[in-house]
C-alpha cells in the first residue's frame, strides 16, 4: 500500500504504511520504498539509510539496483532529476 500512496502523491500515508510494512517483516522492498518517500521529501540522509538497509536485505544487489532504477519514473513527479538519481545510485553501490 505504501508504494501506491507514493505513486499517488500522499507521502504521509506512504511513510506510515511502509513503516508498518517494515515492522511486519518487509525489510527489502519496504526499506527501498521508504527511501523513495524520504527522497521525495528531500530528506536524502534518511533515504540513504533506508536504501542501505534495503540493499543489505536483498540476496542479489543487482535485483535491488534494477528495482531502484525502475522506480525512477515514480520519483520524477517529485522533482528528482536523472543526475541526482544517478548520484544517489552511486552512493548506494558503495554500501
| HEC per residue, 6-60 | HHCCCHHHHHHHHHHHHHCCCCCHHHHHHHHHHHHCCCHHHHHHHHHHHHHHCCC
Looking at the whole model, is its pTM more than 0.75?
yes
Q: At what angle do helices 82-93 and 44-57 cross, to 10 degrees?
A: 50
Task: Show the domain range for 69.
Answer: 2-93
Number of domains in the chain: 1
| DSSP code of residue 94 | T
Hey, what long-range contacts does 11-14 have (CB within 8 A, 24 or more apart)? 11/37, 11/40, 11/41
| Average confidence (pLDDT) per 10 residues, the chain, 95 residues | 96 98 97 98 98 96 97 96 97 93
Predicted local confidence at residue 95, as pLDDT: 86
Sequence-ordered list of residues with C-beta below 8 angstroms from that of 90, at least 6 positions apart, any chain: none
The CATH number of the domain holding residue 22 is 1.25.40
Amino acid at each position: 500500500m505504501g508504494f501506491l500512496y507514493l505513486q499517488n502523491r500522499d507521502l504521509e500515508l506512504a511513510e506510515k504504511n511502509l513503516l508498518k510494512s517494515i515492522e511486519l517483516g518487509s525489510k527489502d522492498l519496504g526499506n527501498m520504498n521508504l527511501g523513495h518517500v524520504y527522497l521525495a521529501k528531500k530528506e536524502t540522509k534518511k533515504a540513504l539509510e533506508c536504501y542501505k538497509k534495503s540493499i543489505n536485505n536483498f540476496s542479489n544487489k543487482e535485483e535491488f539496483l534494477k528495482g531502484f532504477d525502475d522506480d525512477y519514473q515514480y520519483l520524477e513527479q517529485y522533482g528528482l532529476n536523472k543526475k541526482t538519481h544517478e548520484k544517489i545510485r552511486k552512493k548506494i553501490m558503495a554500501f
